[in-house]
Amino acid sequence: MNPYYDLLNKPCGGTFHDLVESIGHTPMVELSSFSPKEEVKVFAKLESANPTGSVKDRVARSLIESAEAEGAIEPGVTILEPTSGNTGISLAMICRVRGYPLKVVMPDNVTPERTEILRMYGAEIVYSEGAKGSNGAVELALEMASDPGYYMPYQYGNEANPLAHYNGTAVEILEELDSVAAFVAGLGTGGTLMGNGRRLKENDPETLLVASEPMHGEAVQGLRSLEDGFIPPILDISLLDRKIMVSNLDSVLWTRKLLEQEGIFAGVSAGATAAIAARIAGEIDEGNIVFLVPDGGWKYLSSGIYTQPLDDLGDLDATNWW
């Protein structure tokens, strides 16, 4: 057994050498209001319990530790990464702890909270065109990466991303549940789906791997439509059993349902995934459904989606919920 997992269920959640070591072991909560029948149970894996409040803490740690093990990071080299916010924040925290300079590229229409948190951790920010979403950030970062003064972990093409879930998130799920009928996650970099999917299907080949994908042209924070033209290199579509489209409107509505029905204060991509998890729950006769809640709602407060009437939010389907 990996000693990292020996800390599970220790008093006070375990004792760690530093904040980076404390990443993971997030709670999984049953959502009774999301279960349409007694034989079907729906669980939310709450990644907001990570140190910076998102699942990307797992990924950022895996990216940095992999680079360290390979000797890819040297003194004086700046780490560069494209992000819609969460990965950048996670990298910024780890780089602050480990002493690495960091530059992130992200869309210029992200919520102010993300910018403030990144600056708080000392990261330098380069903005890409907001209308292009995270794809635009990737494009600009790849151009900048030709400078030898940068090292780009590149979460979209780095196997350390899915391995963070294969060796971490999925193991935690299987420690808590005897079986998983379906795992649902948003279609973003592909790391969450690939890493968890491979591990869960090794445990039970019948486990359904389901992706929630935004409608083409609608930018749900942290997610991407494959129709937009960029398929992350780590994403293996053949591993997916289902890929279900979700609108901005449904993402917002289900984000509110998580808050109103279960008290879960989550980001908008969690709403997109919750909508699909509830759909799958209505289609199967029995079993456990697990969906990932990538982050909390703190970084989205300025958007007004939690309290404002829907009519006051404008054209939901044309809004970038960064």
Last residue of a domain, one of 118, 151, 184: 151
Side chain identity at residue 309, one-letter code: P
- 1: pLDDT strictly greater than 90: no
- Please indicate, yes or no, whether residues 104 and 220 belong to a single structural domain of this protein: no
The pLDDT assigned to 83 comes to: 86
- Please indicate, yes or no, whether residues 132 and 173 belong to a single structural domain of this protein: no
Q: What is the mean pLDDT of residues 289-296?
A: 96
Catalytic-residue membership of 269: yes
Last residue of a domain, one of 104, 130, 151: 151
Residue 75 is part of which domain span? 56-151
Give the residue from 59, 57, 40 showing the smallest Cα distance to 49: 57
When mean pLDDT is compared across 14-28, 45-59, 171-185, 301-315, the lowest value belongs to 301-315
The pLDDT assigned to 224 comes to: 47
- pLDDT tens digit sequence for 163-195: 999 999 999 999 999 999 999 999 888 999 999
Phi-psi region of 133 (alpha: psi -120 to 50; beta: other; left: phi over 0): left
- Please indicate, yes or no, whether residues 31 and 77 belong to a single structural domain of this protein: no
- 140: pLDDT strictly greater than 90: yes
Q: Tell me, yes or no, whether 318 lies in a domain.
A: no
**Which pTM value belongs to this model?**
0.88
CA 125, 113, 87, 85 dihedral sign is negative
Last residue of a domain, one of 122, 151, 180: 151
Cβ contact 260:297 at 8 Å? no
Confidence of residue 301 (pLDDT cuts 50, 70, 90): confident
Q: How many domains does the chain have?
A: 2
Q: What are the φ/ψ torsions at residue 186 (nearest 5 degrees)?
A: -75, 150
Catalytic position from the list 41, 48, 54, 56: 56
- Please indicate, yes or no, whether residues 265 and 205 belong to a single structural domain of this protein: yes
Q: Tell me, yes or no, whether 262 lies in a domain.
A: yes
Catalytic-residue membership of 257: no
Catalytic position from the list 54, 62, 269, 303: 269
**Whole-number average pLDDT of the chain:** 87
Q: Tell me, yes or no, whether 283 lies in a domain.
A: yes
- Please indicate, yes or no, whether residues 122 and 210 belong to a single structural domain of this protein: no
The pLDDT assigned to 230 comes to: 64
The pLDDT assigned to 313 comes to: 65
pLDDT > 70: what percent of the chain? 87
- Please indicate, yes or no, whether residues 39 and 65 belong to a single structural domain of this protein: no
The CATH number linked to 78 is 3.40.50.1100
Cβ contact 126:144 at 8 Å? yes
